[in-house]
């Protein structure tokens, strides 16, 4: 029996970042571990603030050959020279985003715990589908993306899958055989030393 390849890390930025310190912190995390992709998950709708943050993070990412996508802002992804977009509305915007950004862009879709949305997103051209939260979280309506969903998906569906939200070392151990990526964000940024926090999680793989 083949051992599946180890899942890769998909890094998610905090909703607000301090431009004077975060790019350096991001660089340290990227240098400490093999990161497949970064998602700019910035809160708010102030275009200027988002653009400045995106520019700073893009420089750090591209200097290390790491792809960087932005949550939901399809037009900004193009304008700011990012690698694509991560959509939070299941399968609804995938087709439009793909049309807007072209075949080479990364288009990902967050589908909560809905395999149906995930399959539709894949059919509509998503490069990956994210399910979550996998751990208990006060956010959302309390629905959890269970291990069974990842198990079924990894056996039946070709589209790469991301497990995210409320990750712990135990959950990472349980889900490693069934997911392609772990979306890691608040789990490390809320700690004093993000590099050490990330190592504790990746060691569980």
pLDDT of residue 155: 96
pLDDT of residue 35: 97
pLDDT of residue 140: 64
How many residues are present in the chain? 205
The yes-or-no verdict on residue 1 having pLDDT over 50 is no
* Cα–Cα nearest to 139, from 120, 121, 164: 164
| CA separation for the pair 54, 137 (Å, rounded) | 27
User: Would you tell me how many other CB atoms lie within 10 Å of the CB of residue 47?
Assistant: 12
Query: What is the per-residue pLDDT across 67-85, written as a single tens digit (0 to 9) for each?
Result: 999 999 999 999 999 999 9
* Cα–Cα nearest to 10, from 69, 58, 62: 69
pLDDT of residue 137: 66
pLDDT of residue 142: 79
Paired strand residues for 164: 183
Mean pLDDT (whole number) for 17-43: 97
pLDDT of residue 2: 43
∠ at Cα 195 (200, 84), nearest 5°?
A: 105
Q: Taking each helix axis from N to C terminus, what angle separates 22-32 and 194-203, rounded to the nearest 10 degrees?
A: 30
Query: What is the per-residue pLDDT across 100-155, written as a single tens digit (0 to 9) for each?
Result: 999 999 999 999 999 999 999 999 999 999 999 999 866 567 789 999 999 999 99
| CA separation for the pair 107, 101 (Å, rounded) | 9
Mean pLDDT (whole number) for 1-29: 89
With cut-offs at 50, 70 and 90, classify the pLDDT of residue 5: confident
Query: What is the per-residue pLDDT across 176-201, written as a single tens digit (0 to 9) for each?
Result: 999 999 999 999 999 999 999 999 99
> How high does pLDDT run on average in the chain?
95
Mean pLDDT (whole number) for 152-179: 97
| CA separation for the pair 87, 166 (Å, rounded) | 19
163 sits in which H/E element: strand 161-164
User: Would you tell me how many other CB atoms lie within 10 Å of the CB of residue 18?
Assistant: 10
Q: Are strands 161-164 and 128-131 parallel, antiparallel or unpaired?
A: parallel
Domain locations in the chain as residue ranges? 8-203
Domain 8-203, classified CATH 3.20.20.70, yes or no: yes
């Amino acid at each position: 029996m083949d051992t599946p390849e180890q899942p890769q890390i998909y890094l998610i930025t905090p909703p607000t970042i301090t431009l004077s310190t975060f790019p350096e912190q991001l660089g340290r995390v990227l240098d400490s571990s093999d990161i497949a992709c970064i998602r700019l998950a910035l809160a708010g709708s102030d275009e200027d603030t988002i653009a400045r943050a995106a520019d700073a993070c893009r420089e750090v990412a591209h200097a290390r050959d790491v792809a960087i996508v932005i949550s939901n802002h399809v037009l900004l992804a193009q304008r700011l020279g990012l690698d694509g977009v991560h959509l939070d509305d299941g399968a609804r915007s995938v087709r439009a985003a793909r049309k807007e950004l072209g075949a080479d862009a990364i288009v990902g879709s967050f589908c909560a715990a809905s395999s149906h949305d995930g399959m539709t997103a894949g059919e509509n051209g998503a490069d990956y589908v994210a399910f979550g939260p996998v751990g208990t979280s006060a956010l959302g309506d309390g629905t959890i993306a269970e291990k069974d969903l990842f198990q079924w998906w990894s056996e039946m569906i070709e589209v790469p899958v991301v497990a995210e939200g409320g990750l712990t070392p135990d959950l990472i151990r349980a889900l490693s055989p069934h997911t392609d990526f772990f979306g890691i964000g608040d789990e490390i940024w809320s700690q004093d030393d993000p590099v050490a926090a990330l190592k504790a999680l990746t060691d569980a793989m």
